[in-house]
Amino acid sequence: MKSTVVYIGARALSLVLPLSLCASLAAHAEDEAPLPKLGPNATPVTEATDYLRSAPAPDFWAFAPYVKPQFTTSACGVASVTAAVNGLAGLPANAEDTVMTQPDLLEAVGDAHWSEISAEGGDGVMFNDLVTYAAAALSVAGLEDYGVTSFKPEDATEATLETIRNWLSLNEESSSDTLLVYFNQGVVTGDWDGPHVSLIGAYDAAKDEVLILEVDQEWYIPYWTPTAVLLEAMLKPTSDEHGVLEGQTGGFVRLAPAG
């Protein structure tokens, strides 16, 4: 038996396969054309910069500098929450103060379950847990005057889509708040079928498009997607291949000044 790496979409899996099957898979892979990095529902920010050049885009400028690659393949939730609280708190004033990292945040919150599901090979975060951990992060980051609210869409009606637009428009007004989005990444990128968390970077109301500040930076950079596609991605349930996350759907988690 021989170990090989098989690519499904853009994801690599290490499998132990017979040599004959390895050869067959390799030949099949050579015959297939490579998949594009992004599908038709995502446009990399490098190819669509007009909005950021012409609009204030306060969230992009406040939070993009703090969006770092998730430190494990299961840590999209902690990566997004870390970027959110760092952006809200701003750059530390003193030279001896560091910018909080993802492991720093996990240690400060001190929740064993969050650390476990964010470790390499961990299950990943559920939507309700993301709400809980975002609130805990605000506390340890010294943002006690902030609170957490969430919106979990249940359908793809025009009324729900309008609610999504209202949340995005409110978020676009200033950098005093931030939105995390829990969504099925593959609906947007055209790649794998799985749950994911990232930050909202901007909302172009004229084009009805949302900029995702992607933490999955091994594979992507920030990209724009239509609002209707993002709603579809929030509504698509997680498949059974993701174990305890099966059936999870997404939504928005907003961190904002309380009251």
The most distant pair of C-alpha atoms in the chain lies apart, rounded to whole Å, by: 65
pLDDT tens digit sequence for 48-68: 999 999 999 999 999 999 999
Give residue for tokens 């919106």. Answer: 151
pLDDT at res. 22: 38
Q: What's the rounded Cα separation, in Å, for the pair 217 and 76?
A: 10
Query: Which backbone phi and psi does 195 adopt, to 5 degrees?
Result: -75, 150
CB 59 within 8 A of CB 52: no
Tokens representing residue 156 in the block: 């793809």
CA dist 75 and 159 (Å) reads: 33
Q: Find which of 19-33, 70-84, 232-246 is predicted with most confidence, using mean pLDDT.
A: 70-84
Specify which residues 202 forms β-bridges with.
211
What pLDDT, in 10s, does the model give residues 86-98? Answer: 999 999 999 999 9
Please choose, from the candidates 192, 196, 190, 186, the residue with its C-alpha nearest in 3D space to the C-alpha of residue 245: 196
Distance of alpha carbon 86 from alpha carbon 80, whole angstroms: 10
Query: How would residue 17 be classed by pLDDT, with cut points 50, 70 and 90?
Result: very low
Model pLDDT for residues 141-190, shown as the tens digit of each residue: 999 999 999 999 999 999 999 999 999 999 999 999 999 999 999 999 99
Q: How far apart are CA 106 and CA 102, in angstroms?
A: 6
pLDDT at 54: 97
Domains of the chain (ranges, CATH numbers): 2-31 (no CATH), 43-257 (3.90.70.30)
Lowest-confidence pick of 22-31, 184-193, 233-242: 22-31
Distance CA 73, CA 216 (A): 8
CA distance 186 to 148: 27
From 23-27, 49-53, 189-193, the region with the lowest mean pLDDT: 23-27
Is-contact 212 222, C-beta < 8 A?
yes
Q: What are the helix (H) ranges across the chain?
A: 19-31, 50-54, 58-63, 76-89, 102-109, 112-118, 127-140, 158-172, 185-189, 227-235
SS3 175: coil
**What's the whole-number average pLDDT of the chain?**
88
Q: CB of 198 within 8 A of CB of 42?
A: no
How far apart CA 195 and CA 184 sit, in angstroms, is 4
The percentage of residues in the chain with a pLDDT greater than 70, rounded to a whole number, is 88
Kindly indicate the confidence band of residue 247, based on its pLDDT and cuts at 50, 70 and 90. confident
Pairwise CA distance, residues 197 & 215, whole Å? 8
Distance CA 177, CA 175 (A): 5
What pLDDT score does 30 carry? 52
pLDDT tens column, 108-126:
999 999 999 999 999 999 9
- Grade residue 212 by pLDDT with cuts at 50, 70 and 90: very high
